[in-house]
Chain A
Amino acid sequence: MATKPSFGDEVANLLQHAEGNPLQTCIQCGTCSGSCPVVKYMDQTPRRIIGMINAGLKDEVLKTNTFWYCASCYQCTVRCPSGIDIAEAMYALKRYTMWKNQYKEGLIGPTFSETFVKTIVRSGRSYEPLLAPTYIFSYGIREFFSEALNATNLMLKGRIPILPPRIKRLENFRRMIAHIIPIGGVE
């Protein structure tokens, strides 16, 4: 009889370049948490998240901000004595919550990532002013004004383009993307 995969296996399956479930080799030493520069802002430390995944605590893991607060600095990955690519596991959790559209309320990361991807699909290159609305209203009035001031200064210094850049062979580029994702996504 087929059995339902555990939450740990589901996450491990999202680690495209791993064999088996590397998270199960975790010895709970805490090197990852000790190396993480963002740990004090996380609901749960990276070590605890791995422990929770291995214990099958799916709902508890998914409602933390931990993986969306990972800056992908890979300090944990290069130091892990069990050789687990922990930053990649954080990516896997990000993808998992994006696909399920199920993540902690108030996070900016998912919306930002989505907008970023849409910008690239549309023009082939990134353009900061199109990304700003995903976060600029989220940090209060003082931050709003200081961000606007920063943008103005950058523009005055010639560091923000007036028009969004686009690649030349955009039609080919879009067909290429449609080939990889056969339905939806490309207008």
Chain B
Amino acid sequence: MKEYVYFPGCSLEKIAISYHLSAIETTQKLGIKLTELEDWNCCGATAYFHVDELLAYTLVARNLAMAEKVGSEVVAPCSACYKNMYFTKLHLSEDPDLTEHINEALQEDNLLYSGTVGVKHLIEVFSNDVGVEELKSKVVYPLNGLKVAAYYGCQILRPKKDHEDVEQPQFFEGLMSAIGATPVDFPLKLTCCGGSLLISSRPAAYSMINNLLYNAQQAQADVIATACPLCQVNLECYQQQVNQEFGTHYSIPVVYFTQLIGLSMGIPPKKLGFGKEFLSPKKAIDAIKNIKNQEEVITQ
């Protein structure tokens, strides 16, 4: 059984509760144990790095130091948490003086950072550690005919970590194909959703959201799948405002990739957090219902 330390991050506590629920449900089905990191603190988001890098690294190091006590790999579902943890670990490994300084501060919480814990994004667990073949074997209701725009966003891929493809990745589409859905050609799949500009520079963010929704609509996507809470909130919860601003008529549901995977595994929609969204991904859920109804007819 694969085991990971799970770092949900602030968004998954509430605003992205559907991501949390579906992450737990789907990994369970795959025989993966996620143990939530006890007493974790905020990863620092982007705002902390605007103010003071040292403080930002300290915040992240506290989480990493706690994680290494209980496991060998920590997994984050939020792209910003993931990026912060991954790069803090990298910078600390290159800078022993900085690590020593931070360790002095960590003593206040009886912690010591030694850099032994690996950092992963949740989607990597699905695409690399589980893999497409094993995922396929758990699919009971393939989402046939469902056209999905697989939206990567930014910080899963960027900054670049190693030799991975940051211009034309395919692993997200691979997951969607594995559950029977049809990934559409979505050229803006790597383009930023606006992130926190929604707060600090709203007109710019609306225009960025508009571009993405237009692109998804052109691609005739039934649903946008995302792997980041901020992308989900920006693209879904502000769709109405974007419509007002640009005179558009978008109505494109935006769900977490784990929610779609969960549906295909036969997990009840409610357990996956469906019902908490502004725009219901009716087509995805109906696809499952139709199969279930047909099965009932056959068995009767």
Contacts and interface: CB of A to CB of B under 8 A. Distances in A.
Interface of A: 16-17, 37-38, 40-41, 65, 68-69, 71-75, 77-78, 85, 87, 91, 94-95, 98, 107-110, 112-114, 116-117, 120, 124-128, 131, 134-135, 138-139, 142-143, 146, 150, 153-154, 157-161, 165, 167-169, 172-173, 175-181
B104 A179 contact: yes
Contact of A167 (B39, B48, B108): B39
B73 to A, nearest CB: 22
B197 interface: yes
B158 interface: yes
B105 A176 contact: yes
B45 interface: yes
B196 A126 contact: no
B134 interface: no
B40 interface: yes
12 contacts: A73-B191, A77-B158, A98-B50, A109-B200, A110-B50, A113-B51, A150-B238, A157-B275, A159-B16, A167-B40, A172-B110, A177-B58
A120 B41 contact: yes
Nearest to B158: A74
A82 to B, nearest CB: 15
A94 to B, nearest CB: 4
Contact of B276 (A143, A158, A175): A158
Given A17-B94, A109-B201, 8 more contacts: A40-B207, A91-B50, A112-B196, A124-B41, A126-B11, A131-B199, A159-B14, A165-B13
Given A71-B195, A146-B241, A161 B13 contact: yes
A79 to B, nearest CB: 8
B15 A75 contact: no
Interface of B: 10-11, 13-17, 39-42, 44-55, 58-59, 62, 91, 94-95, 101-102, 104-110, 154-155, 157-160, 166, 190-192, 194-197, 199-204, 207-208, 211, 237-238, 240-241, 244, 275-278
B58 A69 contact: no
Contacts of B45: 116, 126
B154 A72 contact: yes
B33 to A, nearest CB: 23
Contacts of A143: 202, 241
Q: Nearest 9 A-B pairs (CB), nearest first?
A: A74-B158, A73-B192, A116-B47, A179-B105, A172-B109, A175-B108, A126-B10, A41-B204, A109-B200
**Among B46, B94, B160, which residue has the most Cβ atoms of chain A within 10 A?**
B46
Chief secondary structure at chain B's binding surface: helix
A156 B227 CA distance: 24
A181 B15 contact: no
A95 B13 contact: no
B47 to A, nearest CB: 4
B105 A180 contact: yes
A168 B48 CA distance: 21
A78 B159 contact: yes
A181 B41 contact: no
Nearest to B208: A37
A112 B200 CA distance: 7
A116 B48 contact: yes
Contacts of B46: 72
B237 A172 contact: no
A41 B42 CA distance: 30
Nearest to A67: B50
A131 B202 CA distance: 15
A2 B166 CA distance: 44
Nearest to A72: B46
Nearest to A140: B202
Contact of B41 (A91, A114, A125, A161): A125
A134 to B, nearest CB: 8
Contacts of B110: 172
Given A75-B192, A179-B104, A16 B53 contact: yes
